[in-house]
Amino acid sequence: MGQASGQATSGTAMWNPFANMASLAGNAISIVGGKGSVVLDADGREYVDALASLWYCNVGYGRAELADAAAAQMRKIAGFQVFEYFSNPPAEALCRRIAELVPVPGAKVFLTPGGGSDAVDTAGKLARAYWRAVGEPGRQVIISRTHAYHGMNAYGTSLGGIPLLTEAFAPLVGQVEQVPWDDPGALEKTIEAIGDSRVAAFFCEPVIGAGGVYPPPAGYLSAVREICRGHDVLFVADEVITGFGRVGEWFASGRFGLEPDLITTAKGLSSGYLPIGAVIASQRVAEPFWRAGSSEVFRHGYTYSGHPAAAAVALANLDLIEREQLVQRVAGLEPVLAAALSPLSGHQLVSEVRSGTGLLAAVEIAEGARAADPAIGQRLVLAIRERGVITRLLRGVALQVSPPFVITEQEISRIVEAFAGGLDAVS
């Protein structure tokens, strides 16, 4: 069989997410090991991982007890479905544990099998199903924010506020609206223009993550929470990044007093040792489905919902976070990270350093520098990696900092030195 001209000849068959395979094929960095906040590539190079992989490896790499938890469960039974009337001990225990941790009284927990995208699609469908179940089927519109990232499944793609990631695919899910990320008044006006009787839910990352790490402007979250209450719109906190400790409390919903109707989680639930997520429903949302005598069924689920091995790993991960007091550790490191990054804001290529919500920060590249050299962001990522630190570019504008909770102050200094060195090198 002949090869079409121009076809990749690198020998790799792996098609990477978000990658230009024409240039990447054969050049990917193969990660083969890790310990704490450091990962190792196939050529023997070590890097401080300023990303915790993709915001998830909160307990750090190389935690044998999480591997042991998976192995022990797999020896009993690795997987079994939980559709309709099956259950298993790790899934039951995990749901109970999450319900106890979350600042939502009487919470019910719907486990999802993959990352946050599954949780977001589940929450979007549950919000609409809730309104049908309580006799208001007209409430179907879901509102999200500019800069929002809610994953890459259908709901997440449709609700996304990063045009480059949505435009090629829209429309997927209908009846979605978008409001500016920082303007409560715009949310209220939009709800009023659509009409209360048509709006199902507002999706909100308490701290915007992939859109560039934007902590909430002062008063923003309490204002939008109140607006949703006033118009009886469900408030959905997307805590896929912020859940399970990243902002120095178990949930950003607790830190910011959000009392959400639904919370989406994934990533930090298992620190990524196995994929698993959870949608947390308040009493109000669960009630029509759980009330004695109700015939309502949430007709939704995934083959691997409630996967016993993944649930066992998540439980062991939560144990570890509690035992090592890692949430308190994040709270303690919040000002350390902010103070360490702060001098970078004086660099000519930097317009802003955003920090101050746990171990979440971003270094924004000045607009002028990006206009003068559209490749500057990627050149920076490379220059920083050459200095032994892994970061990445968010929305084409800012460098991500979201290290594992076990990061040391010395490693934070290494991150900042590599950023400073990289900025000087590309200047």
Ligand X SMILES: Cc1ncc(COP(=O)(O)O)c(C=O)c1O
HSE on the CB side for 268, CA within 13 Å? Answer: 31
Exactly one of 38, 91, 201, 240 binds ligand X (CB under 6 A); that residue is 240
Q: Which of residues 347-406 bind ligand X (CB under 6 A)?
A: none
Exactly one of 91, 241, 310, 381 binds ligand X (CB under 6 A); that residue is 241
Q: Are strands 350-354 and 361-365 parallel, antiparallel or unpaired?
A: antiparallel
CB nearer to ligand X: pick between 107 and 240 = 240
CB nearer to ligand X: pick between 145 and 347 = 145
Contacts of 372 (CB under 8 A, 6+ apart): none
Q: How far is the CB of 152 from ligand X (least distance, A)?
A: 6
Amino acid at 228: C
Rule CB under 6 A: say whether 150 interacts with ligand X.
yes
Q: How far is the CB of 84 from ligand X (least distance, A)?
A: 25
Contacts of 118 (CB under 8 A, 6+ apart): 112, 151, 153, 266, 277, 302
* CA–CA distance, 210 with 395 (Å, rounded to integer): 7
* CA–CA distance, 407 with 49 (Å, rounded to integer): 9
Amino acid at 62: G
CB nearer to ligand X: pick between 173 and 416 = 173
Exactly one of 51, 98, 210, 423 binds ligand X (CB under 6 A); that residue is 210
Joined together, the tokens standing for residue 197 give 């009787």
Exactly one of 151, 248, 306, 308 binds ligand X (CB under 6 A); that residue is 151
- As beta bridge partners, residue 347 has none
Q: Which stretch binds ligand X (CB under 6 A): 21-29, 136-144, 150-158, 327-335?
A: 150-158
Exactly one of 49, 188, 205, 411 binds ligand X (CB under 6 A); that residue is 205
Q: Which of residues 52-91 bind ligand X (CB under 6 A)?
A: 54-55
Q: Which stretch binds ligand X (CB under 6 A): 148-156, 193-201, 298-306, 310-318?
A: 148-156
Are 285 and 260 spatial neighbours (Cβ–Cβ below 8 Å)?
Answer: no
CB nearer to ligand X: pick between 82 and 240 = 240
CB nearer to ligand X: pick between 150 and 255 = 150
* CA–CA distance, 50 with 141 (Å, rounded to integer): 37
CB nearer to ligand X: pick between 277 and 308 = 277
Q: How far is the CB of 228 from ligand X (least distance, A)?
A: 18
Residue with tokens 């997520």: 277
Exactly one of 36, 116, 184, 306 binds ligand X (CB under 6 A); that residue is 116
Q: How far is the CB of 391 from ligand X (least distance, A)?
A: 15
Q: Please tell me the count of residues contacting ligand X according to CB under 6 A.
A: 17
Rule CB under 6 A: say whether 188 interacts with ligand X.
no
Contacts of 62 (CB under 8 A, 6+ apart): 33, 34, 35, 36
* CA–CA distance, 424 with 427 (Å, rounded to integer): 5
Exactly one of 70, 234, 266, 389 binds ligand X (CB under 6 A); that residue is 266
In the chain, how many H helices and how many E strands? Answer: 16, 15
Exactly one of 238, 334, 364, 411 binds ligand X (CB under 6 A); that residue is 238
b/e for 305-338, b at 16 or more Cβ within 10 A?
bbbbbbbbbbbbbbebbeeeebbebbbebbeebe
Q: How far is the CB of 111 from ligand X (least distance, A)?
A: 14
Q: Which of residues 280-309 bind ligand X (CB under 6 A)?
A: none
Give how far the C-alpha of residue 54 lies from the chain's centroid of Cα atoms, to the nearest Å.
8
First-to-last C-alpha distance (Å) of the chain:
49
Q: How far is the CB of 19 from ligand X (least distance, A)?
A: 15
The number of residues in the chain equals 427
CB nearer to ligand X: pick between 159 and 426 = 159
* Contact residues: ligand X, CB under 6 A: 54-55, 115-117, 120, 149-151, 156, 205, 209-210, 238, 240-241, 266
